[in-house]
């Protein structure tokens, strides 16, 4: 197998293990992160109803001016604050964090710290 395939398979195994224990509800949704090579995506998900409550990404139109010229870590922190603000508008202040199989450092940690600074509790 190729190296990238092995990495992806390992991450999917970790994701399945995490998702078997973490469930998002209407009052405490799951804060899920996905990162590609260029962008970061955060979602609040209600797993009981299979519903995405809100989402924010580095491609969001209202954040493009604020993210222009920022490093990836700074952008992830800004996106974390934006998802916290969107959650506050929906009346949500507690979430369950889902790191989606990524290690908790770098961009994932910056996004989580930004969400905590924005007022989310997890």
Number of domains in the chain: 1
Contacts 24+ apart (CB under 8 A), 103-109: 106/73, 107/35, 107/40, 107/72, 107/73, 107/76, 108/33, 108/35, 108/76
pLDDT digits (tens, 9 = 90+) for 25-58: 989 999 999 999 999 999 999 999 999 999 999 9
94 inside domain = yes
32 inside domain = yes
Determine the structural domain holding residue 76 and report its residue range: 3-117
Residue 91's pLDDT is 94
85 inside domain = yes
Is the CA virtual torsion 35, 37, 40, 45 positive or negative? negative
74 inside domain = yes
Whole-model pTM?
A: 0.88
122 inside domain = no
Cα–Cα dist 38/24, whole Å: 27
Domain holding 93: CATH number?
A: 3.30.420.100
Residue whose pair of structure tokens reads 């209407």 in the numeric block = 26
Confidence band of 83 (pLDDT split at 50, 70, 90): very high
Q: Using an 8 Å Cβ cutoff, are 10 and 3 in contact?
A: no
**1: burial class by Cβ within 10 Å (0-12, 13-18, 19+)?**
exposed
40 inside domain = yes
Residue 103's pLDDT is 92
102 inside domain = yes
- Res. 99: pLDDT tops 80: yes
């Amino acid at each position: 197998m190729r190296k990238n395939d092995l990495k992806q398979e390992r991450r999917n195994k970790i994701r399945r293990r995490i998702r078997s224990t973490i469930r998002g509800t209407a009052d405490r949704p799951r804060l899920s992160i996905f990162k590609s090579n260029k962008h970061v995506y955060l979602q609040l998900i209600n797993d009981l109803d299979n519903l995405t409550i809100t989402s924010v990404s580095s491609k969001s139109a209202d954040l493009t001016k604020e993210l222009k010229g920022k490093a990836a870590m700074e952008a992830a922190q800004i996106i974390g604050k934006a998802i916290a603000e969107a959650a506050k508008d929906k009346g949500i202040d507690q979430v369950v964090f889902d790191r989606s199989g990524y290690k908790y450092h770098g961009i994932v940690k910056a996004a989580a710290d930004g969400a905590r600074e924005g007022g989310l509790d997890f």
